Amino acid sequence: MLNVLGMSCKKIRMLRIAQAEYMIQALKLGEVESGQGLNQEMGLSRPGDTRWGSHHRTVMHVMHLYPAIKKVLFRVGKESKGAEALGAQTMLEVFESFEFVFLLHLMNEIFGYTNAFCNALQRRDQDIVNAMDLLADTKVEMDVLRDDARWKEFLDTVSSFCVKHHLKVVDMDGKYKPIQRAKRFYKDAIN
């Protein structure tokens, strides 16, 4: 997605305009609050190789900019030609799938749990006892996600995101249909 959207000034400008239009509409509908320091413009940046906090920030930005990114991918797919149009159309197909939204939210949860631990490990004055305590806390937080009630809450969050953005919500007991992958490897898999 970053390769499709983040390569040119034109696409960055399209994303900014789409984000501003979405914010104006959301403010009119009362979906977001207004005030000093709220609703700042954000962009998509490549996550760093060594700083996991940058991955968390990128995932949060994709979630926040979802409608604007969707609009820009659609527009690039329609207005461009050749490989650029094909790349945008393919990315849009993946971007609008339940699987993508599910994985986006799951990555946000996992990076959210591990973010404090990663930041603590990067401090110079970190002692090993405190780091081990943070590791244990992180493992407990991740285990809580496996709890049936917490997992149902997580799936409800993903489903409500899909409904808000007019995406198809899959039946979790239904047959799994992979996006952009061969179906023969997933014959008996369910969602």
Tens digit of each residue's pLDDT (9 = 90 or more) over 134-150 = 888 888 888 888 888 88
Q: DSSP string spanning the chain?
A: -HHHHTT-HHHHHHHHHHHHHHHHHHHHHTSS---TT-S------PPPSS-HHHHHHHHHHHHHTHHHHHHHHHHHHHH--THHHHHHHHHHHHHTSHHHHHHHHHHHHHHHHHHHHHHHHH-TT--HHHHHHHHHHHHHHHHHHHSHHHHHHHHHHHHHHHHHTT-PPPPTTSBP--SSS-GGGGTT-B-
Q: Which residues of the chain carry a pLDDT beneath 50?
A: none
pLDDT value at residue 122: 76
pLDDT value at residue 160: 92
pLDDT value at residue 116: 76
pTM of the model: 0.78
pLDDT value at residue 188: 76
Domain positions in the chain are 1-96, 97-191
What would the pLDDT profile of 150-170 be if each residue is shown by its tens digit?
Answer: 888 999 999 999 998 888 888
